[in-house]
Amino acid sequence: MRYENGIPVFGDHDAQTLAQLRDVASRAEKAALMADGHLGYIMPIGGVAAYRNKVSVAGVGFDIACGNAAIRTDLKRADVEPYLEKLADEIAASISFGVGRSNKADDAPTDHPLFADPAWGALPDKTTREALRQKARAQLGTVGSGNHYVDVFGDETGHIWVGVHFGSRGLGHTIASGFMALSQNRPWNTRGKEVEALLELDSELGQGYWALMNLAGQYAYAGREWVARKVVQILGGKEQELVHNHHNFAWKETHGGEEVVIVRKGATPAFPGQKSFVGGSMGDDAVILQGAVDAGADTKTMQEAALFSTIHGAGRVMSRKQAMGKIHHKTRKIIKPGLVTPGAMRQWIEQKGVLLRGGGLDESPHVYRRLPEVLAAQGPTIQVLHTLKPLIVVMAGADEFDPYKD
């Protein structure tokens, strides 16, 4: 860890990302940047900021409550290895990617108590409320596209894990867009410029956003747990442990003896002993980690400086456009090649021994940092508990339409 203009920074970052961090820090009480950080909208991915009685709509982001969940099963690698091809096909056929539930598994918990939560009353009117509730029911249990995935892993003991990564889908996106518009005195259903919108929590607008943000959090948890458990069912296993966290969210926490609002954008809570599932890429290992326990004074100081946060993934080093090149929006033909070729991606995946279903060049391992290096840059603030080798990776296809990428 080092300090940039008094701001704790883990890892190495480009000038634009650091400039964005300084801009956020100018409005926050405290800020920090994790080792997987890169440029985002208003606030860098991997950024953490503390506010007094305020929440940042842009900081939480458009994919409210995006996060990771992992389940350790009672299965061993020997139980699934003879059937990996069949299992990969079954997962791809059963779990929906993109906008709506289109695959054969259609038992998502659309009667979940969250659909009767009083927070829906914070929406502008009945028509808006019912339309969004209907959209949310239709999308519950869908994974989306981009870097969202369903993976099957084997750990160092031979146990099988299921890991998923996605957020609150159209519900969160609509909430974020709506409050971004309202903060600029624009109507709810309009999309304005992405700007910083710091909402006072004792204002009507702030209270409404906080209630609906937490509703989106419930929704994301319900969706991720349903998908992960559905895959465990497909594998024929039983759940032994669940590790689950948001990484695009805001929490009321006590730091330095004061209650503050902590906004983590692409960063994961990591209090001592708190576990997280952190993925690498479609062709790299993932980990189960925890915030360091029984740490010495220097490590505790670093944990406090990080606002008890850590990475959420490996972090991009290449944009989607750089990776894919220029593609015709209708025919999907390549007009100008990108920096990643299909052959290079295929070679990486084959060498790793991963069965891939879906996935585009913009999610190739080439576009990400290497996770061990990122973990090392977080220093002793975290402890790796398990290393997870990917066996099956299922993602949306390269042409899958989804307007709710994070």
pLDDT, tens digit (0-9, with 9 covering 90-100), for 166-182: 999 999 999 999 999 99
Compute, in degrees rounded to 10, the torsion defined by CA atoms 377, 379, 383, 387: 30
Residue range 127-168, pLDDT digits in tens? 999 999 999 999 999 999 889 999 999 999 999 999 999 999
d(CA 335, CA 337): 7
Q: What's the farthest any 2 CA atoms get from each other in the chain?
A: 59
Residue range 213-240, pLDDT digits in tens? 999 999 999 999 999 999 999 999 999 9
Residue 6: exposed, middle, or buried by beta-carbon count in 10 A (0-12, 13-18, 19+)? exposed
Which residue in the block uniquely carries the two structure tokens 């982001």?
A: 61
Say yes or no to pLDDT of 190 above 90: no
- Residue 66: the pLDDT is 97
Q: What DSSP letter does each residue of 241-280 carry, written as one string?
A: EEEEEESEEEEEEEETTEEEEEEEESEEE--BT-EEEE--
What sections of 260-370 are H helices per DSSP? 297-305, 320-324, 342-352
Tokens of residue 217, six digits: 């959090």
Backbone angles phi, psi at 12, to 5 degrees: -105, 140
Compute, in degrees rounded to 10, the torsion defined by CA atoms 209, 53, 18, 321: 0
Does the pTM exceed 0.85?
yes
Say yes or no to pLDDT of 325 above 70: yes
Q: What is the CATH number of domain 2-107+119-397?
A: 3.90.1860.10
